[in-house]
Amino acid sequence: MKVLWISPTIGKRFGGPSSTVTNGLIAENRGGMDSDLVTTIGPGEEIKDGDPARRLLDAGVDVRFFKRVGPAYRGEAWGLSPSLAFWLARNIRKYDVVHLQYVWCITSILGAMFGRVAGVPVVVTPHESLTDFDIKVASRHPLLRMMKRVLRHFYLALSDQFILMSKLEEDDTRSGDVPVRIISHAVLEHRVAEEVPRSDPGSGLKIAFLGRNIEKKGIHHIIQAVARKPDGSRKLKIAGPPGTSAFRSEMDRLILDLGVGEWVEWVGYVEDRATYLRAADVLAMPSVYEGFGMVSAEAMCVGVPVVVPAKSGVAEIVSECEAGIVMDESSAENLDRAFSELEESPSVRRNLGLHGLWAANSRLTFDVFARNTQRVYEELLHKSA
């Protein structure tokens, strides 16, 4: 079975989604599918060690890069590339299924159009972009909201299948007549032994954050929760692609005002996410909203308990498998209560970590993902036969 994944970018700055695309493609190829990727690359941009693109190439995945045009950031987000459009028009019929990644981008718009004209089934993984949250809340400009509503109707008309990440995303997505399948991301490459990191006695609570440094991620809540333990026993490391200078300045002012400068460390982008997470006692993900929450799943894969909000797709797995603490909503108060519970009992942390490992081994492996997506593709091909 030949499957064409289409993504505007797999650049590092886009954080979790780049990892999910990379993992998914490797998983499908290992699962016996012939899954290729077309994406864009900036003028003069080079593929370096540690890049998602390098992982794909090293894994033997067929990746075609097309030069993009337009402003650096927006051009990357939208995948603006005339050469990619011409290639799709000529080659899309060679594939059995087209799998679009993201929706607010030129690459997916073209993939949906060309796929429909060619009679190739179109599968869409929107990465929460078709949710009411993304359209009504995250999109602050009225013109942008209107444009997204129009594009949502476009995808409802041209898509054959949605693959969503969680029940939360399904409930918040108006899928119309398009069938939906919930498939958690491919996170764990190989099954792992049930071992969890051990804390050094008397070292306090080591808290990790990993994600884009933006307002939506709730970093300010973690900083405020750290300040609620004035003895300095809570240590926070903040890692991930840097946000704007204005956001960083705002967080630095908060850290200064609360007097927690000695306890908070900005790490920046980390290449080895697993090693970074293993060094923590807990991963905090107090986002306003997450259709899934890749970093929490990654923490579970290394036996680290997580604190997540109910408005995150991964909360379903965390709650069912008792792999962490699910907050009713993201706030400094709720984080403080969660941290206090974990501080009081290292055995609780250990049990949560073990449950997370079990969940990862049973529900988040590359094998599970590949079996589930292959089933979706085969059902679509059977219907169109």
Domain boundaries, the chain: 2-186+365-384, 205-363
**Does 45 have pLDDT greater than 90?**
no
Amino acid 137: pLDDT: 86
Sign of the alpha-carbon torsion through 361, 5, 15, 154: negative
Confidence of residue 196 (pLDDT cuts 50, 70, 90): low
- The mean per-residue pLDDT over the stretch 114-129 comes to 96
Q: What is the pLDDT of residue 284?
A: 98
How deeply is 202 buried, as exposed, middle or buried, from its count of CB atoms within 10 A (0-12, 13-18, 19+)? exposed
Helices (H) and strands (E) in the chain, counts: 16, 13
Q: Which two tokens stand for residue 40?
A: 């864009």
| 138 vs 255, more confident | 255
Which pLDDT band holds residue 162 (cuts at 50, 70, 90)? very high
| Domains 2-186+365-384 and 205-363 alike in fold | yes
Confidence of residue 201 (pLDDT cuts 50, 70, 90): low
- Asked whether the predicted pLDDT for residue 120 surpasses 80, the reply is yes
Residue 200 has a pLDDT of 64
> What fold, for 2-186+365-384?
Rossmann fold (3.40.50)
Q: State the pTM of this model.
A: 0.92
Residue 73 predicted with pLDDT over 70: no
Angle subtended by helix axes 219-227 and 245-258, to nearest 10: 10
CATH code of the domain made up of 205-363: 3.40.50.2000
Helices 346-363 & 294-301, crossing angle to 10 degrees? 110
Note whether 304 and 276 are within 8 A (CB). Answer: no
What is the pLDDT averaged over residues 280-293?
96
Q: Is the pLDDT of residue 231 over 70?
A: yes
For 191-305, strand residue ranges (E) read 205-210, 234-239, 264-268, 282-284
Mean of all residue pLDDT scores within the chain: 93
Q: What is the DSSP letter of 372?
A: H
